[in-house]
Every structure is written in structure tokens, then in C-alpha cells.
Copies of this chain bind each other. A is one copy, B any other.
């Protein structure tokens, strides 16, 4: 079962305590697509500029990612420049150039419109609504957002929340969206806004999953080296939804295992700059780390 992702395809320029990378492949849709492509075919919808190199498109294609939904527009590609602190959990945005992203309205190729698994990456809720209006049958829609849209486009975001099954969100964004400082209360408040499931990402501390009837808590995979945290959240979402599509198992157990797969894929992403580790890791690597993850959290068996 293929997965559809709508989000940014971008250039990232990144400085971490361990090195510097200039204008490498980035963007929420890129990370999500590469992460999900371990498990299932992916269709990507986004916009790029004239400066976007064919080699990135070819990378997507080699990974069974359908790029017909990527539109090339006049102008430059969306470009983010950021610097991570010694405490790698903190970062500053140094530059943000929307370029071709400003005013972009996603149009899905006709054959994308029967998508069953959909990820609405972190873009303007107006664009997310536009995508929802173009899809005929939806089995499962997962959505991401960020503080900027919560503050600036709250009404549209509320409309999106009423039409999706699952929201993936950072803990600080969950607090902002709900007005609750406690993360459990924040999740309960967000469930009332529409989604059936809320996934709260806590970076190196793991993930909390809430629905009306249950809670799931898991730590993150403990890493000796976090090289570049960029894209960890989108890689998590990609691994999560990719595994859900692969297994077709949306039972509580299936969702929990997909959360762990998402965490495993994210743990690879942060081991190197940008998407690099997503292109060097293999599905057997992921399966092996999943088994390690089972083992290092098990007091149940």
C-alpha cells in the first residue's frame, strides 16, 4: 500500500558542533519519503526551484519514491539555514528563504487521489486543507504542524484537525496548541479537537501516544552520538506511517510497533548529516535495531 506525503522539499544549510553542511537535501517531505520508502512505495507532492539538482530527484526514484507530484517552478528552492548548540537539542534558525514555497498550492496528479495513507507534513494548514479536498478515499491521514502555524493560522489548523486521524507533534507544540503545561493534559485537550490519536514527540526522550481509550509510552533508542538532529521528527513520521502501510495493521499493537519502527528510523537519521544515513542504512539494519529496541525496553516477557 503506498503512502502519499505533502510537504517541503528543500535545501538545508546546517552547522552542528561536529561539522558544517551547505545546501544539502532537506525538507519535511524529503525526510518523510526516504524514511517511509524502507517499508512501502511513496508518492511525494511538493515544489522545487530551478536550482534543485536532478541527482536528488534520482535519489528519490531509486528509492521507489514517485516524484511526479514534485512541481518545478521558476525561482529558487526553499532554503533553511540553522545552527545547533553544544546542547544538540537546541538550535537557532539563521536564515529562512521561502522562495518558490511562497504561494504554492499543491495539486495532486490524478492517480495520487486514491491515496489511502497520507502524511500532511509541516506546511501551512491552508495547503493541508487543499490536499484533503483533492483526495477521494482516505484510510489514514496523519498530520504534523509547528508553533508558527499554531500561532498564525490557528483557525485553519482547527479545520485540519477535524479531518485527520492522527496528529504528530512536539511536546512544546502540544503545550502551545492546548494551553496546558502538562503533556498528558495537553494530549487529552488535543484529542477533543478532532484527531483520534495524538503522538507526542519528545526527541531523545521518546514518544507518547494517546487515544481516548489508552496511552502508550516508549523511550527513544539511546545513541552514543547524535550528529545532526535535523529531520528526526519527519523520519519518525515516515517510519511510522511506512510501517503502518506495510503491515496494514492499525490495531493498537500495530500502531505501537509502528511507533517503535518510526523511532528506529529516526535514530538512524540523526547519526549523520541530513538524509545521508537514510541512504546508507538498509531495511535489515532497521529490522536489527528494531529487535535491539525490543530487547532494551523489555521487562514484559
Query: Is the CB–CB distance between B219 and A296 below 8 Å?
Result: no
| Neighbouring B residues of A185 by C-beta, 8 Å | 224-225
Q: Does A297 contact B (CB under 8 A)?
A: yes
Closest Cβ of chain B to A97, distance in Å, is: 32
**Which of B87, B217, B300 is A222 in contact with, Cβ under 8 Å?**
B217
Chain A interface size range: 35 or more
Q: If the complex has contacts A202-B205, A301-B301, are A296 and B222 also in contact, measured as CB distance less than 8 A? A: no
* Docked pose: A190 CA to B19 CA in angstroms: 27
Binds B, one of A140-148, A176-184, A230-238: A176-184
Contact with B along A223-247 (1 / 0, CB 8 A): 1111000000000000000000000
Q: Does A44 contact B (CB under 8 A)?
A: no
Q: Does A294 contact B (CB under 8 A)?
A: yes
Query: Is the CB–CB distance between A182 and B217 below 8 Å?
Result: no
Q: If the complex has contacts A206-B219, A219-B217, A219-B218, are A184 and B224 also in contact, measured as CB distance less than 8 A? A: yes
Binds B, one of A27-35, A58-66, A114-122, A252-260: A252-260
Beta-carbon nearest neighbor of A214 in chain B: B296
Q: If the complex has contacts A217-B296, A294-B300, A296-B214, are A222 and B181 also in contact, measured as CB distance less than 8 A? A: no
Contact with B along A279-301 (1 / 0, CB 8 A): 00000000000000011111111
Q: Does A104 contact B (CB under 8 A)?
A: no
Query: Is the CB–CB distance between B205 and A205 below 8 Å?
Result: yes
Query: Is the CB–CB distance between A218 and B297 below 8 Å?
Result: yes
Q: Which of A253, A299, A300 has its CB near the most chain B CB atoms (within 10 A)?
A: A299
* Docked pose: A206 CA to B253 CA in angstroms: 22
Query: Is the CB–CB distance between B297 and A217 below 8 Å?
Result: yes
Q: Which of A205, A223, A295, A301 has its CB near the most chain B CB atoms (within 10 A)?
A: A205
Query: Is the CB–CB distance between B216 and A297 below 8 Å?
Result: yes
| Neighbouring B residues of A214 by C-beta, 8 Å | 295-296
Closest Cβ of chain B to A239, distance in Å, is: 14
Q: Does A215 contact B (CB under 8 A)?
A: yes
Interface on A for B, CB 8 Å cutoff?
Answer: 86-88, 181-185, 188, 202, 204-206, 208, 214-226, 253, 256-257, 259-260, 294-301
A-B contact pairs, 12 of them (CB 8 A): A205-B219, A206-B206, A208-B222, A215-B296, A216-B296, A216-B297, A217-B219, A217-B296, A217-B297, A257-B299, A260-B299, A301-B301
